Structure 1
Amino acid sequence: MRLPDIERGENLRSRALIRIISAVSGIRLPDAARVAFYDKGFVGPTFGAWTQALMRGPSEWSVGERELMAAMVAHWNSCTFCVGAHSAIAVRGLDRDTVNACLADYRTAPISEPLRASLSFLETMTREPETLSAAHAQAALKAGASQAQLADAAAVAAIFNITTHYADTLDFAIPTDDEFDKAAGMMLKRGYR
């Protein structure tokens, strides 16, 4: 359900910020950012700080790997907006062929075994959460993922399982590939706050 206040801004201040940011960036401000202007109680400072800490804070995973995890969760949830947004950021830290190979089938993609095993854990967490067990975590650890890596991966999946569902529920507009690319540059520079 597309909410008019997300598109145009809830109040005069939000409308002005959306127009200014869109003009400066040269692209329509993506709906993910517009939601933050719409309702600070829904996706405001707390959610933004949590996402920033997970996606840009200290981790044994690179930013590109964490963005790939977000894109994969979006892929498993069939969220076109989030696949586009996070794969566009992931290719800035990984190469496009690797990201595309993961989206096609991470099991055969040219990635590290700890990442592959962590993605397997995240796929179960996303697609069949009721079946997730200690055995899934042990398999990832046996493949070389550290406990810290697996905890970070699970946190990324948790936040993007939420994000993908509200993106689809609110019917986020799908930018062009060029707009996704420009937004990726902004996200790398400014982060999720």
Structure 2
Amino acid sequence: MLFGIIKLFSGYPLPDAAKIVFYRPGFYGNPAKNFTHRALRGPSAWSVGERELMAAYISGMNACTFCVKAHSAVSTKAYDNATIVDQVLADLNTAAIDAPLKATLTMLGKLTRENSINAADVRAVLDAGVSSQQIEDALAICFAFNVTNRLADAFGFFVPSDKAFEAGASYLLKRGYA
């Protein structure tokens, strides 16, 4: 009934990503939702746009269409600039972003692809001007989206229209994930 009410008021069905948090909320739903909210909206030196871009980039590394579209839409709205998001997703090496973010995304990409990083990878990020707290924040996003991407693909999350993702992005920017 709740899902029907949400569709009635929003004009869009509740995304599968939101539905999954209702399944066994004490086991998966609430912990995952709270962790994701803290990672993407909690205190951080990273902006919301940067954190959402990290989520989109990690999702792209995992070829998770639902999450790429969802978090690209949120990052684009947060930055008010689709070019940055499009450039990062097309080719991180040539994207017009600052060195700290590029170094961090490079590390997150390696962790996502290879399932490990080493001291030299972390040192490269620190040398680019990223604080150890920012690295910790980025790794939390990486963890959250490596889990979420796998769930999205395992459960075959429905990929709605770009217009639906834009509406969802507005909601997520206003209310977050909790």
> Within 5 A, what are the aligned runs for 1:142-157?
142-157=127-142
Q: 1:169 Cα shift? A: 0.2
Distance 2:170 2:24 in 1: 25
SS of equivalent residue, structure 2 residue 93: coil
2:30 to 45, 49, 57: 45
Q: Which residue of 1 aligns with 2:5?
A: 20
Q: Which residue of 1 aligns with 2:157?
A: 172
Q: Considering only aligned residues, what root-mean-square deviation do their CA atoms show, in Å?
A: 1.0
Among all aligned residue pairs of Structure 1 and Structure 2, give the percentage whose two residues are the same amino acid: 46
What is the TM-score normalised by the length of structure 2? Answer: 0.96
Aligned residues: 177
SS of equivalent residue, structure 1 residue 144: coil
* Structure 1 stretches of 4+ moved >2 Å: none
Q: Tell me, yes or no, if structure 1 residue 113 matches structure 2 residue 113.
A: no
Residue 98 of structure 1 aligns to which amino acid in structure 2?
I
Distance 2:170 2:27 in 1: 25
Q: Which residue of 2 aligns with 1:158?
A: 143
Stretch of structure 1 that moved more, 183-192 or 151-160: 183-192
2:63 to 78, 81, 97: 78
2:114 to 125, 128, 131: 128
Residue 121 of structure 1 aligns to which amino acid in structure 2?
M
Q: Is the 8 A contact 2:12 2:164 kept in 1?
A: yes
Q: Which residue of 1 aligns with 2:169?
A: 184
Structure 1, unmatched stretches of 5+, are 1-15
Structure 2, unmatched stretches of 5+, are none
What is the TM-score normalised by the length of structure 1? Answer: 0.89
Distance 1:37 1:160 in 2: 18
Greater Rg by CA:
1
Q: 1:189 Cα shift? A: 1.7
Q: 1:42 Cα shift? A: 4.6
1:32 to 14, 17, 24: 17
